[in-house]
Amino acid sequence: MEMSIGTNIKSLRQQKAVTQEQLAEAMNVTCAAVSKWERGDTFPDITLLQPLAYYFGVSIDELMGYSAHKVEQTIEDLLERYRVLYRSDFTAARELIVQAHADYPNDYRIMHCYMWNLGGDYADNDPGVLLEHKDEFLDICRKIDDGCRDHKICLDAWNMRAKLLWAEGKPEEALEIYRTHFYNWYETVGQKSEQLFAKNTPEFLYWVKKNMYELADFAADKLVKSIFFDPQFPMEKRVAEAEQYGSIVLTIAKETAEPFFAVIAHSLFGRLQNDLRYRGGTDADVIRMTDKYLDATRLLTELAEGNPVLTETLHPLRGSNTLLQWTVNLYLNAKGGRNAELLKNPEYAEILTKYCEE
């Protein structure tokens, strides 16, 4: 952050209608010193901050140009930009969060994003990368423990400790952290929120549906992983099996217009096309699966109309865009990696254009 105390001193002096000479006399410094302050060549001695603030009738924070509200808004804007870039341009996202951490090293949200960006996100972490940053990550975890009140960020600090233990070849110690600090499936926020209300109330029905959609999404994702990463079968068979399940469920979803099945189909094809993109799938497989994924996304978008629970489940970070618009825009705006390369394939571009125009 650039310190603006010199600019503020000049502005406050002019508002008070005093000369540099008068201010210098009041602070018992030379006129040249005041001139250097205002040009930004030097800063006032720390012992002069209180006298200067008193002289101008402002707080020390105001004198130094610090606005808690402005800083908070800047940080929130940075984090929002980071979330968007992370999905479309990882290199730019890395540069943004590294600079943000240099500018705001004590903000727990930025510490959190910085640590997990360097660490490689939550899955498939490279042990070498984790160990390379071990001391820095542990220092961040200690800072979070000492002062952060955001429960999720605090849990993620324990998650990073477990990751580091795993990288050191200590998986049992890592698992013990999870057993000690994390919850089982029946003690989640969704389950407890559902149990808070009587079963004949609108609130109970809301949480039952929300939990159902989230668990359907989660379970379908696990189903594809259990097939895709099973080494006893060739890749072609794994892809065909997962695709078959997705097609069956998508057909049921279209016939019944039941969001539960649409969520499963969307998650199945989403997981499958994502793994194919990043784990050596052919362009033909990725294009075919992307088409089916966007077809499921379109159905889910249509079913979300008039279904506030489903809408809230799908749209927490997507602003005014529908799920389909947001997904297509994400692919169209890819800046690097496999997603950007795929945009050069006319068949892939045609698929995106088809759904973009709907």
Instruction: Give the DSSP per-residue string, 209-223.
Output: HHHHHHHHHHHHHHH
**Neighbouring C-beta atoms of residue 332, cutoff 10 Å:** 14
* Confidence band of 240 (pLDDT split at 50, 70, 90): very high
Backbone angles phi, psi at 302, to 5 degrees: -65, -40
| pLDDT average, residue stretch 4-23 | 90
| pLDDT average, residue stretch 181-209 | 92
| pLDDT value at 219 more than 70 | yes
| pLDDT value at 3 more than 70 | no
| pLDDT value at 284 more than 50 | yes
pLDDT tens, 150-182?
Answer: 999 999 999 999 999 999 999 999 999 999 999
Confidence at residue 2, expressed as pLDDT on a 0 to 100 scale: 45
State the sign of the Cα–Cα–Cα–Cα dihedral 29, 35, 36, 40: positive
Percent of the chain whose pLDDT exceeds 90? 75
CB burial readout 41-57, b (16+ within 10 A) else e: eeebeeebeeebbebbe
* Confidence band of 71 (pLDDT split at 50, 70, 90): confident
Q: Kindly state the DSSP code that residue 183 receives in the 8-state scheme.
A: -
| pLDDT average, residue stretch 101-106 | 91
232 token code pair: 């006893």
| pLDDT value at 49 more than 60 | yes
pLDDT tens, 247-263?
Answer: 999 999 999 999 999 99
Confidence at residue 318, expressed as pLDDT on a 0 to 100 scale: 58
Q: What is the mean pLDDT of the chain?
A: 92
| pLDDT value at 307 more than 60 | yes
Percent of the chain whose pLDDT exceeds 70? 96
Helix, strand, coil percentages, rounded to 5, for the chain: 75, 0, 25
* Confidence band of 316 (pLDDT split at 50, 70, 90): low
Confidence at residue 60, expressed as pLDDT on a 0 to 100 scale: 84
Residues with Cβ within 8 Å of residue 107, at least 6 apart in sequence: 75
Cα–Cα distance, 114 to 101 (Å, whole number): 7
Please give the distance of CA 34 from its chain centroid, rounded to a whole number.
45
Confidence at residue 314, expressed as pLDDT on a 0 to 100 scale: 80
Confidence at residue 187, expressed as pLDDT on a 0 to 100 scale: 87
Asked if residues 63 and 16 have their Cβ atoms less than 8 Å apart, the reply is no
Residues with Cβ within 8 Å of residue 311, at least 6 apart in sequence: 304, 305
22 token code pair: 């008068």
Q: Residue 339: which of 166, 90, 109, 111 has the closest Cα?
A: 90
Predicted TM-score (pTM) of the model is: 0.71
* Confidence band of 1 (pLDDT split at 50, 70, 90): very low
| pLDDT value at 303 more than 90 | yes
Q: Kindly state the DSSP code that residue 64 receives in the 8-state scheme.
A: T
Query: How many residues are present in the chain?
Result: 358
| pLDDT average, residue stretch 106-120 | 96
| pLDDT average, residue stretch 138-144 | 97
Cα–Cα distance, 133 to 119 (Å, whole number): 8
Cβ burial of 113 (10 Å; 0-12, 13-18, 19+) is buried
| pLDDT value at 5 more than 60 | yes
| pLDDT average, residue stretch 90-100 | 94
Confidence at residue 67, expressed as pLDDT on a 0 to 100 scale: 67
Asked if residues 93 and 85 have their Cβ atoms less than 8 Å apart, the reply is yes
Asked if residues 229 and 221 have their Cβ atoms less than 8 Å apart, the reply is no
Residues with Cβ within 8 Å of residue 96, at least 6 apart in sequence: 78, 81, 82, 85
- Alpha carbon separation from 226 to 26, 222, 243, 264 (Å, rounded): 75, 6, 13, 15
Q: Residue 313: which of 269, 262, 357 has the closest Cα?
A: 262
Cα–Cα distance, 60 to 317 (Å, whole number): 38
